[in-house]
Structure 1
Amino acid sequence: MKNQTFKYLQAKDYIIAKLTGKFATDYSDASGTNLLNIKKKEWSEELIKLWQIDDEKLPEILPSTAVVGEVHSKAAEETGLMPGTPVVIGGADGCCAALGAGAIDEGDIFNYIGSSSWISFSSSRPVFDQEMRTFNFIHLDENKYIPIGTMQAAGTSFQWLRDILFQDVLKTDTAKHIYEMMNEEAESSPIGSNQLIFLPYLMGERSPWWNPNAKGSFIGLTINHKRSDLIRAVLEGISMNLKLIFDALQENYDRPFQDIWLFGGGAKSRIWRQMLADLFGVTIRIPKILDETTSMGAAVAGGVGVGLLKDLTAAKAWCVEAESFEPDQRNHQSYQTALKAFEQVYKQVEPIFNQWNGVE
């Protein structure tokens, strides 16, 4: 197969090649290949040799704001774009989201909760974790880095519970308000969901465990638990996994995080906003625009590339705070107890998950 390969490209880079005829990638996407020396910011000769890769098949690496070329005539006919339109290389999705979230200055940190979820921040250096719970991308500003931790099933877990427990509601006119109903119901359950723990590993897990064999689980379920406890347990399970990611990033970074921006569909839930503030122990900042963070970052990169914007700091002006949520210290302490139980439960059942998948 490798002998039949002309160039190794990321998805966006393939589209750019079709538009312009040029083969290139940017530093952010290149840093996600495990083939880039992220300190030197060049393809790793050691890994190229180890994996027996033909380095001539690797694309040129450019800054995310670079104009790769122009839309050629054939692509213009096929797409309806104007021939000669400049094409900016752009960046990896999570890195575009970081820029769209205004994470530009040192220590700017944000949490995105969509189907999946991640926490990342802007740093002048890569942040390495000895336990390998987190990893690094290169920022759309190629002079900076984005240390990051990602989880698989965040909003997906909440949606799964919705589909399981609220099938009748989904068939009615009130379905559009279903998440509000679930959030209100969750508020009637106390912190710790009456000693019910949910492991949100419905699709295996990336950070902090990196275990594709992990499974979703309710631990501690009794006949006395109500639907409200299950809903809150799912929210808390997602949030506690994010707290483990947050802690892993903080442990390896020399500046304390004082606040964190929250984006995505999960940021629409007031109970979830306060839950994260209480768990993280920092201020949660909510922007006016919750969605399309990735598209905003890509738009800024494109605007800078073609000269419509001065530089990437323009993203700061696009990120305007609507409100904030301060942590309740009593709740924070209560959550520390729940977090320890959450972590202990995973470590106890992890061998079973691995055994089910034939891993000793």
Structure 2
Amino acid sequence: MTDTRHQDVWLGVDLGTQSVRAVAVTGDGHVLGRGSAPLAGHRDRDRHEQLPSDWWESAGAAMRRTLRHLSASSVRGVAVCSTSGTVLLTDSRGTPLTPALMYDDGRAAAEARYAQETGADVWRSLGHRIQPSWALAKLLWLTQPGPDGVAPGLRGARVCHQADFITSRLVGRPVPTDSSHALKTGYDVDTRTWPTAVHDRLGLSGLDFPAVVAPGTVLGTVCRTAADDTGLAEGTPVVAGMTDGCAAQLGSGAWDVGQWNTVLGTTLVLKGVTATPLRDPAGVLYNHRSPDGYWLPGGASSVGAGALTLAFPGADLARLDRLAAHREPASVVAYPLVSRGERFPFLAADAEAFVLGRPADDADHHAALLQGIALVERLCLAYVRLLGAPVDGPVTLTGGATRSPYWNQLRADVLGRTVAIPAHADSALGMAVLAAHGVTRTPLSAARAMVGDRTVLDPRPQAGRCFAEPFLTLVDALEGRGWLPSKTAAYAREHG
């Protein structure tokens, strides 16, 4: 066991789609432990569910593995992030009453339209739209309102986000949610209130919406049962977290106005920093509040590395990367959606993955998928510039995809921008940073040393030029299918 009695250690936990990951890091950025445990779910077309009990089992395993060589008493605090829009209903003690509908479960399309129309005045003031992937739409789907509102048997049920389930188990009782996870459940981040009048009109007033606190708020301390399950010491502070995209922003070190971070894992999330909320007439971009008073506008696309797993299950992706390096550009252009429907930088519930043409072989197909995701990333950055957001300095890359050196350089080339990859590029690190900020109550900037050194990659101009035509081809294809608005397409062609 490492002697950490004289070091402050902070634990961050990231509840992902395919695994739970945890990291223990000191205030000066030394990673003392890492651990992970797999997650499984049920996918069937638009359906994507997981069992909350699996989250707790995997979270406990990941934390135990992270702390196996550490003194539990050295951990000063823990914070948890999770997928944005994942929700379930529990009873008053936190026992699940429904399965968890995951962030990309698409069955609530009709409910999203109803919620959007019913609360249009509120959503307009906030500058976003309720989408099928949002938790508010999923609550309508789960409850299937009857004549008197919420479905029989669910009246009084407690709304619970993915991270809430874990923090409640850690503390031993239901705890408040944070404003970051609450945003897609309809929480008004401007007034810092639930829109109860909208809930009444939607027939959801029979549900128990939790109290909401700012990210970084101490929710309580680890109880004895949770200590036994996780390896944490009883009494360790549990800090309110943020969604995985916001967590990755914290972990990236891109904390200043004008800086942007893209998280590329199963799907793609873009998040930036602005002094004021970034308003989007189309409503596909939304604004989180940062722990340090700034705003974190961004959006989540349904393209991502999950498309590689779908196309090449069990394949040696490193080998395919080496082959893809000789296919720049690929002979075909791909739009690599992981599941049906797009959320950002445009909203299209009927969007489907496509490949324009027939790939010559697996290497060509793999190259097209890597390039297609990077082309969408480029389109996302063009969209936030269209809305007037500053995009200064390197774009920081985080997420599991940064494990591919080839893909990192390819993304710099396609974006035509310098990119920076933090030494520890994951959302769990962002939660360790937030735990330190929340427990010590020092400015976020005081935790900058936790992020560590970065690798900086400059774009290769000659390589980048060969992706100009594929980018225009993809923009044309998305507009031609009626998914990408003409104004966005025109801007992307001229300034993308």
* Superposition TM-score tier, normalisation by shorter sequence: 0.7 to 0.9
Map of 1:99 onto structure 2: 250
Map of 1:189 onto structure 2: 327
Contact 2:248-2:399 within 8 A present in 1 as well: no
Q: Does residue 303 of structure 1 match 2:436?
A: yes
Unaligned runs of 5+ in 1: 171-177, 352-360
- Structure 2 vs 1, CA of residues 56 and 132 (structure 1 numbering), >3 Å: closer, same or farther? closer
Unaligned runs of 5+ in 2: 1-142, 144-149, 484-496
Q: Does residue 219 of structure 1 match 2:371?
A: no
Secondary structure of the equivalent of 2:476?
helix
Contact 1:110-1:260 within 8 A present in 2 as well: yes
| 1:152-175 deviations in Å (ceiling 9; x for gaps) | 241111223333xxx7xx5xxxxx
* Cα distance, 1:14 vs structure 2: 3.3
CA RMSD between the two structures:
2.7
Map of 2:379 onto structure 1: 244
* Cα distance, 1:93 vs structure 2: 2.2
Map of 1:356 onto structure 2: none
Query: How far apart, CA to CA, are the structure 2 residues paired with 1:13 and 1:207?
Result: 25
| 1:276-314 deviations in Å (ceiling 9; x for gaps) | 222222101122223xx211111122223232x733224
- Structure 2 vs 1, CA of residues 268 and 23 (structure 1 numbering), >3 Å: closer, same or farther? closer
* Cα distance, 1:186 vs structure 2: 0.8
* Cα distance, 1:342 vs structure 2: 0.6
TM (normalized to structure 1)? 0.81
* Cα distance, 1:243 vs structure 2: 1.2
Which runs of structure 1 show a deviation greater than 6 angstroms over 4 or more consecutive aligned residues? 77-80
Secondary structure of the equivalent of 2:419?
strand
Partner AA of 2:406 in structure 1: I
* Cα distance, 1:340 vs structure 2: 1.3
- Structure 2 vs 1, CA of residues 118 and 315 (structure 1 numbering), >3 Å: closer, same or farther? farther
Q: Does residue 145 of structure 1 match 2:295?
A: yes
- Structure 2 vs 1, CA of residues 262 and 15 (structure 1 numbering), >3 Å: closer, same or farther? closer
Map of 1:29 onto structure 2: 181
- Structure 2 vs 1, CA of residues 58 and 151 (structure 1 numbering), >3 Å: closer, same or farther? same
Map of 1:207 onto structure 2: 344
- Structure 2 vs 1, CA of residues 38 and 63 (structure 1 numbering), >3 Å: closer, same or farther? closer
* Cα distance, 1:42 vs structure 2: 2.1
Query: How far apart, CA to CA, are the structure 2 residues paired with 1:311 and 1:221?
Result: 53
* Count of residue correspondences: 330
- Structure 2 vs 1, CA of residues 289 and 41 (structure 1 numbering), >3 Å: closer, same or farther? same
Paired-residue identity, %: 23
Secondary structure of the equivalent of 2:184?
coil
Map of 2:110 onto structure 1: none
Query: How far apart, CA to CA, are the structure 1 residues paired with 2:254 and 2:387?
Result: 18
Contact 1:121-1:148 within 8 A present in 2 as well: yes
- Structure 2 vs 1, CA of residues 265 and 74 (structure 1 numbering), >3 Å: closer, same or farther? closer
- Structure 2 vs 1, CA of residues 67 and 333 (structure 1 numbering), >3 Å: closer, same or farther? same
Query: How far apart, CA to CA, are the structure 2 residues paired with 1:301 and 1:158?
Result: 32
Query: How far apart, CA to CA, are the structure 2 residues paired with 1:233 and 1:79?
Result: 42
Partner AA of 2:298 in structure 1: I
Query: How far apart, CA to CA, are the structure 1 residues paired with 2:450 and 2:306?
Result: 28
- Structure 2 vs 1, CA of residues 282 and 341 (structure 1 numbering), >3 Å: closer, same or farther? same
Secondary structure of the equivalent of 1:43?
coil
| 1:252-287 deviations in Å (ceiling 9; x for gaps) | 234233311112232233332222222222101122
| 2:476 aligned residue (337, 340, 344) | 344
* Cα distance, 1:77 vs structure 2: 6.6
